[in-house]
Chain A
């Protein structure tokens, strides 16, 4: 079991690093709340001026519930290690990993989950409060099986998003300075994953295209599991699709990384 300890230790160090920056994390939570407020006002205005009570298949309450949950889920699956990877490659620090008897991918994965954990616990706590208040004020309680299924799909969603961004981060082997590219990719993927609006807002043709891509399985799908938009059969099918995309992205990542690290030039003294 000794080989395992190198990864549990990486996890632990990631965890400690996250705790080191508590204030930063709290600020990021506040900044996450900001767009949620804006959207709440926006949807309130839209529903008040609409002649129908159901817009894009969502009632006003469902829409607000979606907005809250999407803000939180998007925050949970969010990565951030892509900037570290870019730095490692750009400044040649990737070399210090190449000479060690340890894989870069499992190391990044463990450290990422370690860094994720404190925030995850906190956001799940907030989510419980949101769900309890929704139940108390609006009387919409999710079923027990929906909550369990939600947690499973959420875990898969975190892994999937990690892999998607691990693929994107390999671009750093070809293009040196890609900070803005990452920012662009992040905004687009958040939109495509349903992290801002429900995907129905964009229309059926868009949805058809989205069904062929992995993004909605990181945010939109877990929320739809929780809010009851998807039945039990649909939940199981969705999980299978998530697993398929995880396998596909993992394959793609390993191909891209093998190809890219062959190009690595280890700059600097």
Chain B
């Protein structure tokens, strides 16, 4: 087992500030201290070689969890073992075996070519020359940035810089990789390239990868297993496509129409999710799928007809809502 987390919690102190100048002045003298549970009693395990997606809305506690697992933050309560070490003890042997890539933080020296920073990492991780050269050649080949090694980092595009960051993070062949929003702000092509890279890397090196992302596509492409976290709690842990089974009582029907049909007419066949002159998307109960489909084909001017599952994204959004609703009731 690579990661074993038991009842991990982290709370942050912060100050309340109400709107307006008067409150700003009041805040100068007296601040009401509040505490926020960023991560609340989570437990999970990750096996070697797994690729796990950490999903959740902004502020759900994903990044805080990764920071605790990489030893950047101390937890308020609970235990964790990563690669057999307690991460926040920050042992050297532990640090030599993992990497964390934070899409919004860079480790490369801004004013110097990336190969200088990479060489610094070679020294920091005590990699010998031959390993370093071989690994550098492989990574830069895979990410297609061989020609950019001698360009100052500040002259690279965002996508190129992110790829260099990945090379810097992986140059010591970590067994465990934490990726925190690795594709944030990148265009679709770069995102795709980076996803392919991690897929290959995970297969080749058998490295364990834990990924957080806002982009559903990242997680759908890479991870079989998803841990979904909301307001500091784990709301789902399992097969990513299993999320839909929680919502399996509904199906989606997509229609192309030859002539416009009013929304009211469509509503007779199911809940209208989208509607334009010549297209419509309906949600229907699974048990009535057959009858409704038949009725639609008989009564509407249908050109094309498709039955689909609820998209994973929507499933997850529903999960969040369910959790929040439960919270509101409690």
What residues of A have a CB within 8 angstroms of the CB of B139 in the complex? none
B206: Cβ under 8 A from any A Cβ: no
A130 to chain B, nearest CB (A): 31
Whether the pair A269, B102 counts as a contact (CB closer than 8 A) is: yes
Within 8 A of A (CB), among B54-77: 63, 67, 70-74
Measuring CB to CB, which residues of chain B are less than 8 angstroms from any residue of chain A?
A: 12, 63, 67, 70-74, 90, 92, 95-96, 98-100, 102-107, 109, 111-112, 116-117, 119-121, 123-126, 180-181, 184
A5: Cβ under 8 A from any B Cβ: yes
A13-47 interface bits toward B, Cβ cutoff 8 Å, 1 = contact, 0 = none: 10011001100000000000000000000000000
Whether the pair B73, A2 counts as a contact (CB closer than 8 A) is: no
What residues of A have a CB within 8 angstroms of the CB of B100 in the complex? 95, 99
Q: Output the nearest chain A residue to B113 by Cβ-Cβ distance.
A: A16
What residues of B have a CB within 8 angstroms of the CB of A20 in the complex? 111-112
Whether the pair B109, A101 counts as a contact (CB closer than 8 A) is: no
What residues of A have a CB within 8 angstroms of the CB of B67 in the complex? 95, 266
Whether the pair B105, A3 counts as a contact (CB closer than 8 A) is: no
Whether the pair A10, B112 counts as a contact (CB closer than 8 A) is: no
A259 to chain B, nearest CB (A): 14
5 residue pairs of the A-B complex, CB under 8 angstroms, read: A5-B123, A20-B111, A21-B111, A93-B105, A268-B104
Query: Which listed residue (A8, A16, A96, A268) contacts B107, Cβ 8 A?
Result: A96
Once bound together, how far apart are the Cα atoms of A92 and B106, in whole Å? 10
A33 to chain B, nearest CB (A): 26
What residues of B have a CB within 8 angstroms of the CB of A21 in the complex? 111
A124: Cβ under 8 A from any B Cβ: no
A-B contacts besides A98-B72, A101-B95, A264-B72, 15 pairs, CB < 8 Å? A3-B126, A9-B120, A13-B109, A17-B111, A92-B105, A95-B72, A99-B71, A99-B72, A100-B124, A100-B125, A101-B125, A102-B124, A265-B73, A269-B102, A269-B184
Whether the pair B120, A6 counts as a contact (CB closer than 8 A) is: yes
A92-126 interface bits toward B, Cβ cutoff 8 Å, 1 = contact, 0 = none: 11011011111000000000000000000000000
Once bound together, how far apart are the Cα atoms of A92 and B105, in whole Å? 8
Once bound together, how far apart are the Cα atoms of A183 and B121, in whole Å? 33
A254 to chain B, nearest CB (A): 16
Once bound together, how far apart are the Cα atoms of A262 and B73, in whole Å? 9
Query: Which listed residue (B12, B102, B124) contacts A101, Cβ 8 A?
Result: B124
Once bound together, how far apart are the Cα atoms of A17 and B120, in whole Å? 14
Whether the pair B119, A266 counts as a contact (CB closer than 8 A) is: no
A147 to chain B, nearest CB (A): 35
Whether the pair B73, A266 counts as a contact (CB closer than 8 A) is: yes
Of A99, A102, A262, chain B has the most CB atoms within 10 Å of the CB of A99
Whether the pair B126, A2 counts as a contact (CB closer than 8 A) is: yes
What residues of A have a CB within 8 angstroms of the CB of B112 in the complex? 13, 16-17, 20
A71 to chain B, nearest CB (A): 27
What residues of B have a CB within 8 angstroms of the CB of A99 in the complex? 70-72, 95, 98-100
What residues of A have a CB within 8 angstroms of the CB of B96 in the complex? 101
What residues of A have a CB within 8 angstroms of the CB of B123 in the complex? 2, 5-6, 8-9
What residues of A have a CB within 8 angstroms of the CB of B103 in the complex? 269
Of A16, A98, A262, chain B has the most CB atoms within 10 Å of the CB of A98
Once bound together, how far apart are the Cα atoms of A238 and B95, in whole Å? 43
Query: Which listed residue (A9, A16, A95) contacts B102, Cβ 8 A?
Result: A95
Once bound together, how far apart are the Cα atoms of A5 and B128, in whole Å? 12
Once bound together, how far apart are the Cα atoms of A2 and B132, in whole Å? 14
A128 to chain B, nearest CB (A): 30
Whether the pair B111, A9 counts as a contact (CB closer than 8 A) is: no
What residues of A have a CB within 8 angstroms of the CB of B92 in the complex? 101
Once bound together, how far apart are the Cα atoms of A96 and B99, in whole Å? 10
Of B70, B109, B184, chain A has the most CB atoms within 10 Å of the CB of B109
Whether the pair B102, A96 counts as a contact (CB closer than 8 A) is: yes
Query: Which listed residue (B105, B109, B116) contacts A268, Cβ 8 A?
Result: B105
A3-B126, A5-B123, A6-B123 known; A98 vs B71 contact (CB < 8 Å): yes
What residues of B have a CB within 8 angstroms of the CB of A3 in the complex? 126
What residues of B have a CB within 8 angstroms of the CB of A2 in the complex? 123, 126
Once bound together, how far apart are the Cα atoms of A264 and B109, in whole Å? 23
Nearest 5 pairs of A and B residues by beta carbon: A6-B123, A5-B123, A101-B95, A96-B107, A9-B123
Once bound together, how far apart are the Cα atoms of A101 and B107, in whole Å? 14
What residues of A have a CB within 8 angstroms of the CB of B119 in the complex? 9
A119 to chain B, nearest CB (A): 16
What residues of A have a CB within 8 angstroms of the CB of B117 in the complex? 13
B139 to chain A, nearest CB (A): 18
A100-B95, A102-B124 known; A16 vs B116 contact (CB < 8 Å): yes
Q: Output the nearest chain A residue to B13 by Cβ-Cβ distance.
A: A265
Q: Output the nearest chain B residue to A10 by Cβ-Cβ distance.
A: B120
Query: Which listed residue (A9, A13, A96) contacts B105, Cβ 8 A?
Result: A96
Within 8 A of B (CB), among A58-94: 91-93
Whether the pair B109, A17 counts as a contact (CB closer than 8 A) is: yes
Q: Output the nearest chain B residue to A107 by Cβ-Cβ distance.
A: B124
